[in-house]
Each structure stands twice: as structure tokens, then as C-alpha cells.
Amino acid sequence: MDAGLIAIGAGLAIGIAGLGTGIAQQGTGAAAVGATAEDPKMFGKGILFMVLPETIVLFGFVIAFLLMGKMDLFTP
């Protein structure tokens, strides 16, 4: 029972982090493309702002990885 709940928590950590990142990149991606269309020198800044929300997924992955490591403690 405990291992199943940990697996659900790990899945939620990745899933919700990915959903949040997608919502964050929705606005920043549109703004980055618009800024690059007006001034090509803004491409570097646009890429930087597109990369920042990806850290949320990395944090979710780390949490899921740590949770999956705890599952070995509960197996008989």
C-alpha cells in the first residue's frame, strides 16, 4: 500500500510540474516569438526566458526520483 501511494506521489510530482511548465511557456513563448519578429537581436533573451520555466520540471523530476528511492524501503 505504501509503495503505491509513493508511486502516485511521484507521478503527480512530474505531471503537475509538467503542466505548470506548459502553462508558463505558453505566454513566454508567444512573447519571445513576437519580440524576435520585431528585433532579431532579442532571440537570445527569448531563449533565456523560455528555458527558465523548464527548471520547474527538473525540480519535479528530482522530487519524483527521491520518492522512487524511498519505495525500496517498503518492499518486503
Indicate which CATH number applies to the domain containing 21: 1.20.20.10
Looking at residue 73, its pLDDT comes to: 63
Which residues of the chain have a pLDDT value below 70?
A: 1, 73-76
Residue 55's domain spans which residues? 2-73
Looking at residue 2, its pLDDT comes to: 79
Looking at residue 69, its pLDDT comes to: 85
3-state SS track over 5-40: HHHHHHHHHHHHHHHHHHHHHHHHHHHHHHHHHHCH
Predicted TM-score of the model (pTM): 0.76
Count how many domains the chain has: 1
